[in-house]
Amino acid sequence: MRPTEWPGVFRQGAELFTRNLQPGERVYGEALVAEDGVEYRAWDPWRSKLAAYLLRGAPRLPFDQPRALLYLGAAHGTTASHLSDLLPDARLFAVEKSAETFAAFLALARRRPNLLPILADAQLPERYAADVGLVDFLYQDVAQRNQVELFAENAAACLAPRGRGFLVLKVRSVTQRQPSAAVVADARSALAAHRFRVADERSLAPYSRDHVALAVVPE
């Protein structure tokens, strides 16, 4: 197991791994590898867009040792579980609106003390902003038409002034008519209007077709 340029992320061959916060437990059927008394979980880029982003050549992790994070679109917790491995001392608030999906995520969060699940619609940050407080990192993967506005509203409610963000843009959820480059250009302009700059942009193909990841920093 070799450390990588991304703190806390390891590599064995072509595969990425994180150190398992809950040794012996799998989250989504991933491989577990023990080495020198430490257990690592394989991080599947076909299942997690953050792993795909790293393997597509990300120059750095999109956050800087955050103490608190807000994750929009937790689903079953695949990516959130790897953030939980990477940031054991951070508080990771995770919002999911589907009650069915949330039930599975809740079971995961019970076993990982740094995961703080919130059943809510991310369109309504005023419902959870008081519980979350200010976070240093905002992660969004919700595949909705108004993805940038959703990000901006949650940033306004919960992101600290120097906080960073990671926006997974599902191009076809925005429009079927425009080419991907035009959708990304519109997203950049909308982010700029909210005083955010895109520090890094990466297509997630072939892992997640039709998705572009934007690492976002304040202007």
Positions that interact with ligand SAM (CB under 6 A):
48-49, 72-73, 75, 78-79, 95-98, 101, 121-123, 141-144
- Shortest CB 131 distance to ligand SAM, Å: 15
In angstroms, the CA 27 to CA 156 distance is 32
What DSSP designation does 207 have?
T
- Shortest CB 9 distance to ligand SAM, Å: 16
What Cα–Cα distance (Å) separates residue 104 from each residue in 90, 92, 95, 119?
Answer: 21, 17, 13, 12
15 contact partners, CB below 8 Å, separation of at least 6: 31, 42, 43
In angstroms, the CA 167 to CA 140 distance is 5
Nearest to 174 by CA among 125, 211, 134: 211
Of residues 56 and 97, the one with the C-beta less far from ligand SAM: 97
- Shortest CB 76 distance to ligand SAM, Å: 6
The tokens for 111 are 């076993």
- Shortest CB 197 distance to ligand SAM, Å: 23
In angstroms, the CA 65 to CA 164 distance is 11
Of residues 15 and 84, the one with the C-beta less far from ligand SAM: 84
- Shortest CB 2 distance to ligand SAM, Å: 24
What DSSP designation does 26 have?
-
Of residues 11 and 97, the one with the C-beta less far from ligand SAM: 97
Of residues 3 and 46, the one with the C-beta less far from ligand SAM: 46
Of residues 1 and 120, the one with the C-beta less far from ligand SAM: 120
Q: Which residue is nearest to ligand SAM (CB)?
A: 73
